[in-house]
Amino acid sequence: MSDKRVIGFIGVGLMGHGMAKNILKGGYPLVIKGNRNRVPVDSLLGMGATEVRSAREMAQQCDIIHLCLSNSPQVEAMMRGPDGILAGAREGLIVVDTTTADPTSTMALAEEMAAKGVHMVDAPLGRTPKEAESGTLDAMVGASDEAFEKVKPVIECWSGSINHIGPVGSGHKMKLIMNFMSMSYASVYAEALSIAVKSGLTPQSVRDVMAPSRMGCGFFDTFFSAAVGGDPNAHKFAIANAAKDVRYVASMATAAGVMNPIGAAVRNYFDQAVATGKGGDFVPTIANHIAALNGCDLPAAVKKANES
């Protein structure tokens, strides 16, 4: 029988499956809550995880619960209600929320949880499902020193880089800053490709000149590998999630009393793409969307350049 803490995991999707797998590999007993997509659930059950039907049941069994969900309303729903985590929580339970969430919601939940002896840790993620599977994600953590020391060994199972940013809410704030910058890059890259193609340059020339320059970076590489290089899975992050994140950035800026005009432009691009049914597509396809708004067929331009 293991003497390690029992870990719960809710949200075993693109990112969560790899994280949960690596918690199991770290020797921790793992309890998961299933969803409609049984493939990752059955995979983890085959590795030794056990399954519960509700968040309440999980809270009754676990010492630390991970959440890896899409947004703050989903986190709030999982925490509250008759079948929520708080309904079954024992005093001392720690909830590690890896969702890219609204810090205002996070801090409000943390106060509500503290009143019941439950601790909130926000630990949003950097990098992609590839790093989730390999256990080398980036983690930016908001937590008390005491809670951080308790969860750190578990986070080390799925993270290759851990930064304890500050108190609860700090991790989610930092993640929004990162995603504001990255989605701004995505918007600029997309606009640049449209300008280049309409001006007679090939998309490949933009990639080949920029990549080895000071303007190249990891985000550039995966974005252009998808938008120009023909690898649709190089950058697996949905437009709908990006749109949600830049909306949260706007709320964060408003709360801080900071103007955010660039954020508004980025938000309009992503919200417009969602409104036209492209929310499920990956972020690099925003380049195709913006090109179409400019009367340009980016995939056709890529194909033409490849054939010439």
Q: Are residues 158 and 239 in the same domain?
A: no
Residue 36 binned pLDDT confidence (cut-offs 50, 70, 90): confident
Residues 157, 208: one domain?
Answer: no
Residues 241 and 144 in one domain: no
How many other C-beta atoms lie within 10 A of the C-beta of residue 248? 24
The backbone region for 117, taken as left when phi is positive above 0, alpha when psi lies in -120 to 50, beta otherwise, is left
Residue 233, classed as helix, strand or coil, is coil
First to last CA, the chain: 64
Print the domain residue range for 249.
Answer: 173-307
Inside any domain, residue 36: yes
For residues 118 and 66, membership in a common domain is answered with: yes
pLDDT above 60 (res 290): yes
pLDDT of residue 308: 84
Q: Considering 173, 175, 244, 278, which one is annotated as catalytic?
A: 175
* 35 and 88 part of one domain: yes
Angstrom distances, CA of residue 7 to CA of 26, 49, 68? 11, 10, 13
Query: Where residue 1 falls among pLDDT bands split at 50, 70, 90?
Result: very low
Looking at the structure, tell me whether residues 143 and 218 fall in a common domain: no
Mean of all residue pLDDT scores within the chain: 96
Calpha distance 202→298 (Å, rounded): 10
Evaluate whether residue 200 is within a structural domain. yes
Where do we find the tokens 């949905």? 238
User: CA–CA separation, 275 vs 257, rounded Å?
Assistant: 28
Mark whether 160 and 191 lie in a shared domain: no
**DSSP state letters, 18-30:** HHHHHHHHTT--E
Mean local confidence (pLDDT), 18-23 = 98
Residues 112 and 145 in one domain: yes
Residue 206 Cα to chain centre, angstroms = 28
Residues 79, 113 contacting (CB under 8 angstroms): yes
pLDDT score at 37: 85
pLDDT tens for each residue of 124-164 = 999 988 999 999 999 999 999 999 999 999 999 999 999 99
Q: What is the pLDDT of residue 2?
A: 56
One-character DSSP codes across 17-68: HHHHHHHHHTT--EEEE--S-HHHHHHHHHTT-EEESSHHHHHHH-SEEEE-
CATH code of the domain covering residue 70: 3.40.50.720
Please give the average per-residue pLDDT across 98-107, as a whole number: 95
Predicted confidence (pLDDT) per residue in 46-75, tens digit: 999 999 999 999 999 999 999 999 999 999
Q: 192 and 122, same structural domain?
A: no
Which tokens in the block code for residue 123?
């630990």
CA distance 51 to 21: 14
Domain boundary among 108, 138, 167: 167
Contact criterion met (CB below 8 Å) for 223 and 271: no
Residue 2 lies in a domain: no
Identify whether 236 is a catalytic site residue.
no
Residue 1 lies in a domain: no
CA distance 245 to 101: 8
Q: 11 and 148: one domain?
A: yes
What lies within 8 Å, CB to CB, of 239 at 6+ separation is 270, 273, 274, 278, 279, 280, 281, 282, 283, 285, 286
Domain boundary among 142, 167, 192: 167
Run of H or E residues at 122? strand 119-122
Alpha-carbon distance of 46 to 40, in angstroms, equals: 10
Specify the number of domains making up the chain: 2
Residue 232 domain flag: yes
> How many helices (H) and strands (E) in the chain?
15, 9
* pLDDT tens-digit readout, 257-287: 999 999 999 999 999 999 999 999 999 999 9
Find tokens 């951080």 and name the residue. 148
Are 292 and 249 members of one domain? yes
Is 237 within a domain? yes
State percent of the chain over pLDDT 70.
99
In the predicted model, what is the mean pLDDT of residues 223-241?
A: 95
Three-class DSSP labels, 214-264: CCCCHHHHHHHHHHCCCCCCCCCCEHHHHHHHHHHHHHHHHHHCCCCHHHH
Same domain for 128 and 21? yes
Q: Are 155 and 162 in contact (CB under 8 A)?
A: yes
Q: Mean pLDDT over residues 225-236, rounded?
A: 94
Residue in the block written with tokens 């509250």: 80
